[in-house]
Each structure stands twice: as C-alpha cells, then as structure tokens.
Structure 1
Amino acid sequence: MKDIDYACAFKITDKLAILAIKDDRIDELKKAVPAIIFVNFRNKYVLQDTSVTDVSNIQPIKINPYLNLTGRGVIIGIVDTGIDYTNKEFLREDNTSRIEVIWDQTISSPNTTENSNEVFTGTVYDNDKINEAVKAKISGNDPYAIVPSRDEIGHGTQMASIAGARGYDQDVAGVANDCTFAIVKLKESQKFKNQLADEGIQNVPVYSLSVIIAGIEYLKNYSLRAKKPMIILNSIGTSDYSHDSSDVFSRYLSKIASNRGLVFVASCGNEGAAETHASGYLSGADDIKDVELKVGNSMKLLQFRVFVRRPNKMSIAVVSPSGESSQFMSSNLYKEKNVRYIFENTDLKVNFYNPDNITGLQVFLLSFSSIKSGIWKIRLKGEYIVNGRFDIWLPPSVTLKPDIRFLEPDPNQTLTAPGASSDVISVSYYNQEKNSIVPASGRGFPLFPIIKPDIAAPGISIYATSTNGSKVTVTGASAATSIVAGTCALLMQWGIVDGNDSTMYANKILSYLVAGAFRNTTTRYPDYSLGYGTLDLLEIFNSISGLKLESRGIADYTEYYTNNLYVRIPQNMEVRFVEI
C-alpha cells in the first residue's frame, strides 16, 4: 500500500489489519490491493453494563491460609473505558501502583514509553510513569501532568474494582485483590458517535471492532513479554453478528485461546429482554413468512442484517406501514438494490452477500434512510430450503431509539459478541439476592453445537469503587463478568504461579468452573440463561481436591473460623489434586 495515498493500514496479526479509508473508496482499494480478501462489516460495540467477596462462595476460599489465593502473580487485562489509576484501591500499602501498563488510545503524544511500532494510535504509560504520577498526587501536585489518562465514564474503573480492588474499603474488596492490571482505554468510534448524535442518542460509548482487537492483541503480547499469566476481561459487545462463532472476532479469539496462561472472559450482554432478535423457519420453496418490526420513533439511519442458515436460500421483500412493498429480491452475487417508499419518504438499500465472505451464510444487509414510525414487515420467501432457519438481530438496544423492536421476538440466541465464541469463558448473570434468572441477561444457545453461556455469576447491586474514589453499586452483565475474571485469576495463581497445574489454559479453567458450578434440582442443565450453573468457588476446590484423613490428636490440627463456620484442618493432611 505504499503507493496508495487515500488509505492507511496497521497490521495486527498475520491475517488482520486496521484500515483507515473513506467508505466510498473501499471497492477501489480492494481492486488495487488483491491481498485484501474481505473488509469486515462495522458493528457497534457497547458497554455491558452486594460486596463481591460475599457472593459465589469466594470468601471461604480467600481466607483459607493454606491456599492463600489473592491473584498474586497474575495480570488482569482490561479493554474498556480506562481506569482511575490514582484510586487507592489500585495501590499497594507502600503507595506503589498495581497497574503495570496503560495504553490510552485516545491520547496522541510522543512521550510514549513503549516501542511505537506496537501501537497504531495513542500513548503507552508504563509502571514507572504511573508511579511517578501517583507520587505527584500524594505530594499535592497534578498527576495528570505526567500521566493524563483518565476514566471519564467510570466503567473500566468499576470493572477493575470488582475483579481486583485492594479492599481498603471492605465493601469494594475485589476477588483477586493482589493481582496486577494491564489497561487498554479504547478510543470511541467518531463515525458511530456522530450517527448516534444525529439520532439524539447521547452518552452511549460506542466502539469499533478494530480498536478492541488491537487492544486484546496488545494485552496478549504484553503477557508474553512479562512472562506472567493473564486474564483478559471484556465487557464490551454487540448483538449484530451471526451468533455461530464464524465472525472475525470469534476466529481471532480462537487463534489466541491456545496460549498457556491466557484466558479470555466475555460478557453475554444485556439483550435478553430487549426484543431485538427474531427468528423463524420456512417449510419449503415458495413458503413465505413475515417478521414484523415496530418502529416507534423515526430514525435517520437503521441498519441490520438477515442471516439465512446454509444451505438454505431465500429472497426478501420489505413492506412499509402504508402497505407499499418492494419486489422479492435475491442475488447470487455481491450486489445491491435500492427501493424508494413514496408514502413514507424512506429509502432502503439492500446489499446481498451469498455466500458472505466471513460467515459463509446468505446475508441481506438492510440500510434504511429516514425510516418512519409504524409496523414494517421483513418478508422472506423460500427458494431452496433444507431446514429453513433464518435470524435477524438489530444493533445493541442502547443504540436504538425507544420502542424499536420485533413484535414476536425470540429471547434465545441473544448473547452479545464475543460471548458466543467457542474459545472464551462466556458469562451471564442472575439475581443473587432472589436466586432468580434475570430476563435482561443474554441467553444461549449459539447456532452451532457448543453450549453458551458457560457460567452465570451474580450481577445485581455489586459494590465497586469508581472515579474519584466514590463507591457505587453496579448491576448487569459487566459486573458478573468481572467476578468471573477475578475468580479465573485465583485459579490461574493456584495453577501456574503456585505450581499446582502448570498447563493451565482457557479450556481447563472452564472445566474447573463447570465442575464446581451450583446446579439446583429444578433446572435442567445446560440452561439457556444459566449455562452449566452458577459460580461457586468453594465447590470448585471441593471438586478438584481429594482428602485423606488420619486419626490424630487435637494438637495436630489448625483451627479457624469462616464466618460462623468452625474449620479444623490436620497439620499434615494429604491433599491430592486431580485434573477433571
């Protein structure tokens, strides 16, 4: 691309790169650079918004003096809105920072302390620089003159708190309170922000996949350089994808999941009750089915895709609220057609992908300009039908105006990406106060033979520290995901750092989580909402340990209390750890 002056690119992996170019010149570039096989559809990724150690039987394990699990020696990597690095909960008792590195994608500065070839934008601040800034604050000076990175939103700080706050305030003590952190503050997509602003939608952070993958790749490489195990916490997702692990994000995560000591924990999102997913079946050729979309408020731009499961083939028509209908449209090529609805003064562009370069499915991309309120019908007709399955997902509900929804929604298959990926630990959430399912939590199962979500964790009113040291309660998928990430850090410490299981990697940790999950007798598992059960750290260790007790005197025991539970452990107890 050296001779091309209208685009620039940054290589992330051998197969992925970030491309900066105007939309109307993409086809021109693909012709000029044959090495570009496909350009991924741009999705909107958004945030997935009780004391932590009081849930999921975490406290009995943490206070056990023999296990001594604190997250020591493990890095929790977070791609989010940044972190309030001056917050005491992320400092040690000697006021040194537990944050090893911050890559702030939003700050353009030559004063980076890392090799500029490793990042394509922003600035990297290492632990020495962060400690210098913390020391300046303690001395009454401005820390942001040294490290200007801030978490203006607070979400990233809250996630770090739940996963690993130090616990000076016991209410906000994190799960892995002795872990260290590697932070990527993501740069918001200006294009998406402008689109939302045009719709009057404010205060919704929105990101593109390119900066998220770049952040994850940076964290992976940092873990390898530091030679420390890492848990990557991802609380950002999108609903607009194929839900079958064939998307770019899932394929990338599959590539990195085989690394020993690297675990990716993903949220399943909050789209379960959003009514943004519709599905159905056509029984044969010429069978027709309507999917009704209610548009309660007009939008200047509404884009979504229809996914037809292979090897089925369908044609599509769209009927406006006034009854004006397009013709049935289909194409074996990558073409587009335009439709004008006179009575609604609405334009529709339909892009055809058959098969789609990424998923291999038949895909219709519908782009409405100035879509008006009313009931719109997405009409599908069978051309070649085997099982006849189709799915439609709208963009994340927080990026839509109120009352835009399907009239007959399907609450299943509502996990946000990358929560449906086969090689991540996928987390849904439940109401731990009532021990009940939360309808908003993303539901499985993905449309391929793998069960997701994997585990459910508490997600209602979780205490966390936020910006400026304030204490807040957090509800939603992000809170649950942070609890599981902290739990994975404890398991990683037990396995790799403490030498009990040196081959610890993502699938093995998943096996431990599933083996220890709590399953009640009234629910059939795996469950659409709860996966294989709810998180239970104590039961995880019960499931992986075998105890052989001998008769001995009272002096040969160590005694302590766990809340109101009296514990007496033999001094030379034999503990046999077995892989499950």
Structure 2
Amino acid sequence: MLKKEDFEPYMGTQEEIPGVQPENPAQSEHFGDFIVKYMQNVKNTMELFPGTVFQEINEIFGILYVPLENMGEMEVTGTSYNSIPKCYTYMDMEAAGASGVTRLHDHPYLKLRGRGTAVAVIDSGIDYQNPVFRNAGGTRIEYLWDQLLEGDENSRAEVPYGRLFRKKDIDRALEEEEPLRIVPSEDTNGHGTALAGIAAGNQVLEENFTGAAPEASLIIIKVKQAKQYLRNFYLYPPDAEVFQENDLMMAVAFAMKWARELGMPLSICLGIGSSQGAHLGKNALSQYVDYVANFSQVSVSVAAGNEGNTRNHSTGFFSQGRGRITTELRIAEKEQGFTLEFWGEPPEIYQISIQSPTGESLDVSSSLGARTQELSFVFVETKVYVNYILIERQTGYSLVYLRFFHPAAGIWKIFTEARNRQNVQFHMWLPVESLISQDTYFLEPSPYTTVTAPGDAGNSITATAYQHKDGSLYIAAGRGYTPSGMVTPHLAAPGVNVKAPLMRGAFGVRSGTSIAAAQMSGIAALLFEWAIIRNNQPFFTGSSVKYYLQRGARREENMQYPNPEWGYGRVDLYHTFELLT
C-alpha cells in the first residue's frame, strides 16, 4: 500500500547546485520565487515573511524571493496563481530563401544583413567557439549572461545573479588553447546554438547555410533550470528541462538594457513555451512581452508551440438544452503525476466531478473557496488535489487546478455541469508534450487553441512553422485562436528540417516552431536595419515589424486570412519591400 506521504507534494530543499553561491536567492534552492507588480503591497509581504528579498525586473514587475522554511505549503489561489512562476520548455526537438531573406542579402541596393542591430537569443546558451558566430573582428557575441554560473566581482555589479561575459572576454578565450578556462559557459544540448545560428549565423557556402541576419550583433542569455520546489509542485519528470518564468523575464530585461548600451535596435527570440494559464495572454511573461514590444526599436519573436497534435487540449460548449459534458482522459501506465488546468468562461458557475477507471466518482466543491481540496479514491490508490477559483483575478475566468498523484492507468472521466445554463465554453489543458507521458491524453481532443504562452501575447510576433519545400504546415504546430478570439499565430516561417549549426562546428537539421521563431527574429533585425539604421522609419516598434510582415506575407488565393493555422500567411520579407515600392 502507498503511504500518505507518497501523495503529498515534496516541499523539502535539495543540495545547492555545485559552484552556485548559496547566499544568492535567485539561484538558491532554499528560496521560493514569486512574481509581483509594484502596485501590490510588496513591503507588507516582505514583513510577513522574514528573510524575503526583492529584485526589480523593470518599473512594473519584480520578484520576491521567500525562504522556503517561511512559506508553508504552496497553494493555488485567486491571488497566488499568477505570482507562482510558470515553467517553460523548448518548442522543437534553403529555409532563408523561402522567406525572401537571401534575395535581400544580395540585393544591389538594399543589401540587408542586420548590420547595426542586435539579436538576443534567450535559451540554453551558445557554443561561442563555433565559427558561424565570428567575423574578422572576433566574436559577434557582445554579451553572454550565464544565469547558472557563480558570479564574479565584475558580474555582481552588472547582473543580479550568474555571470556576465563581454565580447572582449570571449575574444580572449578564443585565443586560448582551452577557451572554457576563460569563459566557462557551455550550451549543453545545442538548442540555443541552433536558434542563434538560424537567426544570425554567418553564411557558410560549403554548407549552403546562412542565418537570417548574418551581420547582427548577438546578446545571449543562458537561462538556468527551474528550482526543485517548483518541479515538485508541478509534478514534472526529474530529467525535464524547464525554465522559470521570472528568469525569462529577467533575461528579456537584460537584453533590453544592453541593447540600449550598444545603441542598437533589438530583436528578441523566445523559442520556449508553456501550456499553463488561460491562453489569454495574461501570464506574467506574456504581459511583459506585450509591454516591451510596444517600445520603439524592440521586437519579440515567439514560438507558437508544438501542441497541435499532442491531444493535450480539450474543450466543451454549453448551450441551452446541454447541461452536462463528459471529457474522457486516458492516463498511461506508470504515470507518476501531472497537473491539469480547467478554465471556464464567465459568468457561469461550473460543477465538476471526477470518475476513476473503476467507476468511483467524487465531486469538486465550488463553495469551499480556493483552499486545497483532497479527493481520495477508495478503489484506486490515487489522490487528486484540487483548487477551485471561482474568479481568477487576471482573466475573470473560473479556474479549477488539479494535481493527480500516482494516477491509476485507464480511462478517467471529468463531468462538467453548467449551473446557470449559460452559453459558454470551457477549456482543459495538460502540460506540454515533453512534460507528460505521450500516452496520457484526451480521447476527444481539439488541435485548436493550442498556441503556447507567450505566443498568446498580443504584441509578439508569434511564428508557426511550415515545410518550405512543399508548403505544408508543420503537423505539430500549435493552432489559434485564443479563447477570446485574438489572432494567433501571426505568421508562418520555415521550421521543418531546417539546416542549423550544431555543437562543435557541425551542421544538421532541426524542426519545430522555435526554429520558425529564430528565423523570424533575424528577419525582424533586417527590417530594423532598413527602418532605423538607415533612417527610413526611425520610430519603428515591434508592432510595426509585425504589421509590415503581415502585409507582405504570401497568401493562398483559396484560403481565408487570418486563420488559426497560418495566421496572416507565410512570411516573405522580399515581398514586403516590393509592396513598399
């Protein structure tokens, strides 16, 4: 028999990561992280939890680092849901010609290559020794912030945690026989290297490869892995590579700061995503992306996610005469645990019950407030912890947050009733594919409303992926729209079997919407070069970039645009310039 502690979320701390300063709360496993806005009473919160440290992100957002020993057990409530950092992971696992990029590289008048612009890649780091990131003047990497490394004296004055390397440090390292002795930052899986290469790698004729903006300067942020207490809370597999929302927000703020230092317009690439949240652009990272993309000279390109065919999303519509909907969920053998989020449109009040594979059914109370309910099944050794939030404060939607501990394999049923018989819709999302077994899925899924955050941000350039050789949509690509009807994805870019630089100077092919986002970020840099560096449109914003690209996108004659699969069509920067003339 399983013991009670088998079902309880483990809230203990882990040993410190080797080489990381234990006193830095951003890196320490002894602190929990909470995202706050300044209009909240931060001072009172800090007094409530002794030892709390506050870190500013920008003039709106900040982070509270609270000692775990003072936090108590974490709960999802109406006020805490958006403060607990969500976790994000990677969105993938001859293209430049299809996007009209190479024609502009070689155009006799334009010759756009990204010179004078900065491309920031926020991901797993970079193989800075790769020749595709060097030119005659040395490395094209102006700044490299590794959030994981222990800070040195120079870094502590410039970054809140981790270690900062500048171009001069990387150039000095490249002259050594052992470069990692000088700059010990590595890309351990090659994902960030591939994105940086596709966005802004040098032209390599013998490989028939070029990045979209091969003369742009690079700002690289290697994001540290999520803390153990969050992994435990979200029930992620032990080996999952996931990043905390607040670390990603800090990375965006860093990129903006140092692009201003360089005096360059900035194109940011975010090839990560999460299915957490209502998919309404209300996650903290999505709100922050919205905010920064409204700045002059800043663009943010985001992956649409690869959840279109994972069967991890289900939806239901209530109308008069239909008072109950059954959602069937298949749970895989040996599934250790997972979260499920139910989001229901207002003003309805939803009654939910859960039935195990043995037929035992338990009700979720809608009248207990947000405190955690424990559903204990008798005939299967499974517990489900539930938080029912009648009005989630960021969205106004009803949120039912479920955590399944040691769920029995088989077909589970979730019964949803509409108390007031309103014409409303609800959605359920499982975690993204890499964070849950592929054999756990909804039996009647919907491929729509599967664009991951922050691809639901209104001012981002959310990129879906297509096969540039035959023009077909990438089978796994996330599809729109948002539940509120906002158009996303915005544009399609090549993202299937795209050539990319790999580790140690090799080349290979990669697929996924993060590949499309990387190319989009390089394309945005080319537009910034034309608009700002050449003084054609000196107040160009990220939204301007998106609107110009939407106008010039290629569209099929027999298809209505925008649409949930392709957005406004296939990006074609050359066609954008054709329209301008």
Q: TM-score range by the shorter chain?
A: 0.7 to 0.9
Given candidates 249, 268, 273, the residue that maps to 1:232 is 268
Q: Work out whether 1:472 is the aligned partner of 2:508.
A: yes
| Cα deviation, residue 239, structure 1 | 1.4
SS in structure 1 of the partner of residue 165 of structure 2: strand
**Tell me, what secondary structure is at the counterpart of 1:390?**
strand
Return closer, same or farther for 1:38/1:369 CA change in 2, 3 Å cut-off. Answer: closer
Select the residue among 310, 313, 332 that pairs with 1:277: 313
SS in structure 1 at match of 2:336: strand
Match of 2:214 in 1: 177
User: C-alpha displacement at 1:15, in angstroms?
Assistant: 3.6
Does the C-alpha gap of structure 1 residues 130 and 491 become closer, same or farther in structure 2, counting only changes over 3 Å? same
- 1:101 has 2:137 as partner: no
* Partner SS state of residue 399, structure 2: strand
Deviation at 1:23, TM superposition (A): 6.3
Ranges in structure 1 where 5+ consecutive residues have no aligned partner: 31-35, 546-580
1:43 match: 86
What one-letter code is carried by the residue in structure 1 that aligns with 2:168? D
Q: Which runs of 5+ in 2 are unaligned?
A: 1-45
Check conservation: 1:247, 1:359, Cα contact below 8 A.
no
Structure 2: distance between partners of 1:25 and 1:338 = 23
- 1:27 deviates by 6.5
> Take 1:396 and 1:372, find their aligned partners in 2: how far apart are those partners?
21
Aligned to 2:170: 130
Q: Paired residue for 2:191, among 147, 155, 166?
A: 155
| Pair 1:26–1:197, CA change in 2 (3 A) | closer
Partner of 2:37: none
Decide which of 61, 86, 108 is 1:16's aligned counterpart: 61
Contact 1:52 1:173 in 2 (8 A): no
Distance of 1:197 and 1:496 partners within structure 2: 43
5 Å-filtered alignment, 1:388-399, equals 388-399=424-435
2:409 to 367, 373, 377: 373
Secondary structure at the residue paired with 1:299?
Answer: coil
Give the SS at the match of 2:362: coil
- How large is the RMSD of aligned CA atoms in angstroms? 2.4
Contact 1:44 1:192 in 2 (8 A): no
1:417–1:295: structure 2 CA closer, same or farther, 3 Å change rule? same
Offset at residue 68 of structure 1 (A): 1.5
In 1: Cα distance, 2:48 partner to 2:353 partner: 43
- CA gap of 1:292–1:48, structure 2 versus 1, over 3 A, is same
Aligned counterparts of 1:240 and 1:15: Cα–Cα separation in 2:
22
Residues 274 and 28 of structure 1: CA distance in aligned 2, closer, same or farther (over 3 Å): closer
Question: 3-state DSSP class of the match of 2:531?
Answer: helix
The alpha carbon displacement at 1:298 in A equals 3.2
Q: Does 1:326 align with 2:362?
A: yes
Determine the C-alpha separation between the residues in 1 that align with 2:289 and 2:237: 34
1:340–1:196: structure 2 CA closer, same or farther, 3 Å change rule? closer
Q: Which string of whole-angstrom CA distances, capped at 9 and with x for unpartnered residues, describes residues 47-105 of structure 1?
A: 011x34332222222111210200000000111000111111101124x1100001100
Give the whole-Å Cα distance in 2 for the aligned partners of 1:144 and 1:521. Answer: 53
Determine whether 1:70 maps to 2:113: yes
Match of 1:499, SS? coil
Measured after TM superposition, the shift of residue 196 of structure 1 is 11
Deviation for aligned residue 1:462: 0.8
Structure 1 Cα separation of the partners of residues 71 and 322 of structure 2: 36
Contact 1:429 1:441 (C-alpha < 8 Å) held by counterparts: yes
Greater shift in the superposed pair: 220-229 or 9-18: 9-18
Q: Distance in 2 between matches of 1:130 and 1:70?
A: 23
Q: Provide the rounded CA distance (Å) in 2 between the counterparts of 1:518 and 1:37.
A: 43
Shift of 1:22: 6.1
Query: Using a 3 Å threshold, how does the CA distance of structure 1 residues 457 and 190 change in structure 2: closer, same or farther?
Result: same
- Give the residue type in structure 1 aligned to 2:448: N
Cα distance change, pair 201–333 in 1 and its aligned pair in 2 (3 A): closer
1:454 aligns with 2:490: yes
Q: How many residues align?
A: 531
Q: Do the aligned residues in 1 keep the contact of 2:113 with 2:215 (CA within 8 Å)?
A: yes
User: Among residues 78, 99, 102, which one is paired with 1:56 in the alignment?
Assistant: 99
Identify the match of residue 284 of structure 2 among 245, 248, 251: 248
| 2:390 is equivalent to residue 354 of structure 1 | yes
| In 2: Cα distance, 1:474 partner to 1:112 partner | 37
> 2:576 aligned to 525, 540, 550, which one?
540
**Structure 1 range deviating more: 329-338 or 456-465:** 329-338
Q: Specify the SS of the correspondent of 2:517.
A: helix
1:110 to 121, 134, 152: 152
SS of the residue aligned with 1:436?
Answer: coil
1:351 and 1:364 in contact (8 A); partners too:
yes
**Which residue identity is paired with 2:414?**
I
Aligned residue type for 1:69? L
What does residue range 415-564 of structure 1 map to in structure 2 within 5 Å? 415-545=451-581
State the match for 1:548 in structure 2: none
Matched with 2:343 is 307
**Shift in Å at residue 200 of structure 1?**
6.0
| Contact preservation (8 Å) 2:147, 2:161 | yes
* 1:167 counterpart residue number: 203
Scaled by the length of structure 2, what TM-score is found? 0.87
Corresponding position of 1:553:
none
Matched, 1:83 2:126: yes
Stretch deviating more after TM superposition (443-452 or 158-167):
443-452
Tell me, in whole angstroms, the C-alpha distance in 1 between the residues paired with 2:451 and 2:394. Answer: 19
What SS does the corresponding residue of 1:172 show, helix, strand or coil?
coil
The aligned residue for residue 245 of structure 2 is 209
1:447, distance to aligned residue in structure 2 (A): 1.7
- Residue identity matched to 2:160: F
| Partner secondary structure for residue 484 of structure 1 | helix
The CA distance in 2 between the partners of 1:351 and 1:230, in whole Å, is 41
Separation in structure 1 between the aligned mates of residue 179 and residue 575 of structure 2, nearest angstrom: 44
Amino acid at match of 2:314: A
- Is the CA contact (8 Å cut-off) linking 1:430 and 1:436 kept in structure 2? yes
Report which stretch shifted further, 179-188 or 305-314.
Answer: 305-314
In structure 2, give the amino acid aligned to 1:215: A
Contact 2:49-2:66 at 8 Å conserved across structures: no
| Mapped partners of 1:199, 1:190: distance in 2 | 11
Shift of 1:229: 0.2
Amino acid at match of 1:316: I
- Distance in 2 (alpha carbons) for counterparts of 1:284 and 1:25: 49
Q: CA deviation at 1:210?
A: 1.2
* Contact 1:100/1:126 (8 A) holds in 2: yes
What one-letter code is carried by the residue in structure 1 that aligns with 2:166?
A: D
Q: 1:133 to 1:385 in 2, by over 3 A?
A: farther
Q: Check whether the contact 2:373–2:387 (CA below 8 A) recurs between aligned residues.
A: yes
Aligned equivalents of 1:295, 1:540: Cα separation in 2: 47
Shift of 1:411: 0.5
Residue pair 1:313, 1:385 contacting (<8 A) in 2 also: no
What corresponds to 1:188 in structure 2? 225
Partner of 1:578: none
Corresponding residue SS for 1:224:
helix
- 1:5–1:24 Cα change, 3 Å: closer
Provide the secondary structure at the position in 2 that maps to 1:409: coil
1:201 positional shift: 6.1
Relative distance call for 1:365 and 1:472 in structure 2 (3 A) is: same
Q: Is the 8 A contact 1:429 1:438 kept in 2?
A: yes
SS in 1 for 2:486: coil
